Structure 1
Amino acid sequence: MIVKALTKVAIFFLYLFSLLPFWVLYAFSDAVFIILFYVTKYRRKVVQENLRNAFPEKSAAERAKIERQFFGFLADLMVEAIKLISISEHQLKKHFTLNNPELLDTFFSRQKSVLGALGHYGNWEMAAQILGFSTQKKKLFIYKPLKNEVLDQFIRKIRSRFGAMPVAMKSTLRTLVSLKNEPKLTVFVSDQTPVREETQYFTSFLNQPTAVFLGIEKMAQMTNDPVIFCDIRVVKRGYYCCTFVSLISEPKRTAEHEITDAHVQYLEKVIREEPAYWLWSHRRWKFKPENS
């Protein structure tokens, strides 16, 4: 009860904070960066190890530059996530642009649903909201629920403000089956680490064997729905765009793990082009092939 009460109080103050204009929030972000990078040194060792393993060809100075840029961006993500509590439709569309939503219509016109892969790159939380404007069809956003029920319900409410429907991972199959006759867009955050019991496949990602989430591939081969990648880019501070990229049009014709490798390789391409905007503080490589 105490935890729930404190969570509700925290949510109230976060809402008040979200009402501040972007320029004020970014002033706070600058302060948060100093705290993260210099004072608490939040997960800096994790970030440094991840960057060393991912980019052995880069110099120490180059990796240090990426590290610093990442923490600056992480601070921005924190204040932007709070802003999403109260952001208006006008502000959202100003800060996040969908470049080619018509690609979805080409599939929907054939009575096809679409499966989308999304990485922890750029502002994926803002992407979850802007996807509400991507099509008039249903938009599902698959996510891993939080243990704190009050906070989880709050996050679901934020993500669904503009029409997207958050669906817990464990409910994915049941939800898709119930909507099997409706063309829809279903988006998965594809670079999540699977739980140890579900670690079935390792592929090469950022220069190292990586346990990958097979949910998209399983759903695609079951439904034969085309697979796209949601290519998010940072335009400038606080501004993003997303381009839908067609990866697999006929999943049932693919070899085992071909779909998974396709979206993993595309995400790696995006990261290598602008590495500072991926979630390097995540312990992505905690599982090793020899221990699985």
Structure 2
Amino acid sequence: MINKGLSRLSLFFLYLISLLPFWLLYLISDLLFAVLYYIVGYRRQVVQENLQNSFPEKTEAERKQIEKNYFKYLADLIVETVKMVSISKEELQRRVVLTNPEIIERYTKENKSITAVAGHYCNWEWAGLEFSVDSRLFFIYKPLSSKTFDDFFIKVRSRFGGVAVAMKQTLRTMVAHKNEFTVTVFAGDQTPVQTDANYFTTFLNQPTAVFLGIEKIAKLIDSAVIFYDMKRVKRGYYTYTIVPLVEHTKSSAEYEITDAHVKYLEMMIRREPQYWLWSHRRWKFKPGDNN
């Protein structure tokens, strides 16, 4: 009961922070960066190891600069995520712009559902929230251990019409709506549980386990597979572009869809590496660990 009360108090505090203007939120972000990077050293060893393994061709100074830029952006990402609690639809659409809506319009006219793949890159949360404004969007999520916080984040992500689907319910939900036009968003860089790590590919210079559920579901409902290519224009402003990867999924080769979205994400990361979630323990295990 006490923990539940504290959780609710924390959520109310987050709501109050979300009401602050952007200029003040970014001032908080500057302070948060100093705390995360210099004082706490939040997962700096994880970030450094990931950068070393991903970019062995870069100098130590270059990797150090990416690390510092990453933590600056991570602080921005945290306050921007808090802002989602109360940001207006108009403000969000001013700050996150889809560059080629005609792609979605074409799929809508053809009644061809979309499997959208995103990475933990730039502000993926804002992109998903903005995209849900005018689309029937299902976002696949991994439930949190705290039901209070889980319910809270589902509510925030669903503010403009998005529908939350727990990862274990994905297949059942997609089959139930297979005759409707839907957009289903997956995070393509999630680490599968070790017992489900059945496919490894090279990603950022390392053997990497990849979740195959995206490919399986896309083939089952014969949806088009697209990728969110997101760019940061300046602080607090983004664009994202819909990139078609595989149009005819049922006839695609095995692993074609998986390899396509993994390669596209790597291209984005190499373009501007500071915007990917380097503090995530992406490489938890290697091929053969299940043997």
1:254 shift after superposition: 1.4
Q: How does 1:129-208 map to 2 (within 5 A)?
A: 129-135=129-135, 138-208=136-206
1:107 shift after superposition: 1.6
- The aligned counterpart of 2:58 is 58
CA distance in 1, matches of 2:129, 2:209: 28
Q: Is the 8 A contact 2:175 2:221 kept in 1?
A: no
Task: Render the CA deviation track for 1:141-199: whole Å, top value 9, x for unaligned.
Answer: 11111010010000000001111111110111111112122111111011000011211
Q: Is the 8 A contact 1:117 1:227 kept in 2?
A: yes
The change in CA–CA distance for 1:124 and 1:78 in structure 2 (over 3 A counts) is: same
- The aligned counterpart of 1:75 is 75
Q: TM-score, normalised by structure 1?
A: 0.98
1:3 shift after superposition: 1.7
Task: Render the CA deviation track for 1:79-137: whole Å, top value 9, x for unaligned.
Answer: 111111000111101111111122112122122111000000000111121111353xx
Question: How many correspondences in the alignment?
Answer: 290
* SS at structure 2 position matched to 1:245: strand
The change in CA–CA distance for 1:249 and 1:188 in structure 2 (over 3 A counts) is: same
**% of aligned pairs identical?**
56
CA distance in 2, matches of 1:100, 1:208: 33
Q: How does 1:1-292 map to 2 (within 5 A)?
A: 1-135=1-135, 138-292=136-290
Q: Is the 8 A contact 2:192 2:211 kept in 1?
A: yes
Q: Deviating runs (4+, > 4 A) in structure 1?
A: none
* SS at structure 2 position matched to 1:133: coil
Q: Is the 8 A contact 2:96 2:126 kept in 1?
A: yes
Q: Is the 8 A contact 1:98 1:134 kept in 2?
A: no
Q: Structure 2: any 5+ residue segments left out of the alignment?
A: none
CA distance in 1, matches of 2:101, 2:140: 19
* SS at structure 1 position matched to 2:110: coil
Opposite residue 112 of structure 2, the aligned amino acid is K
CA distance in 2, matches of 1:152, 1:131: 21
CA distance in 1, matches of 2:80, 2:30: 13
Q: Is the 8 A contact 1:140 1:167 kept in 2?
A: yes
Q: Is the 8 A contact 1:101 1:134 kept in 2?
A: no
Q: Is the 8 A contact 1:112 1:225 kept in 2?
A: yes
CA distance in 2, matches of 1:78, 1:134: 25
CA distance in 1, matches of 2:132, 2:111: 19
* SS at structure 2 position matched to 1:290: coil
* SS at structure 2 position matched to 1:194: coil
1:59 shift after superposition: 0.3
Task: Render the CA deviation track for 1:198-217: whole Å, top value 9, x for unaligned.
Answer: 11110100000001111110
1:50 shift after superposition: 0.3
Alignment root-mean-square deviation, CA: 0.9
1:290 shift after superposition: 2.4
CA distance in 2, matches of 1:82, 1:251: 37
Opposite residue 237 of structure 2, the aligned amino acid is Y
1:221 shift after superposition: 1.4
Mean Cα deviation higher: 104-113 or 267-276: 104-113
The change in CA–CA distance for 1:134 and 1:266 in structure 2 (over 3 A counts) is: farther
CA distance in 1, matches of 2:143, 2:116: 19
Q: Is the 8 A contact 1:247 1:262 kept in 2?
A: yes
CA distance in 1, matches of 2:50, 2:134: 34
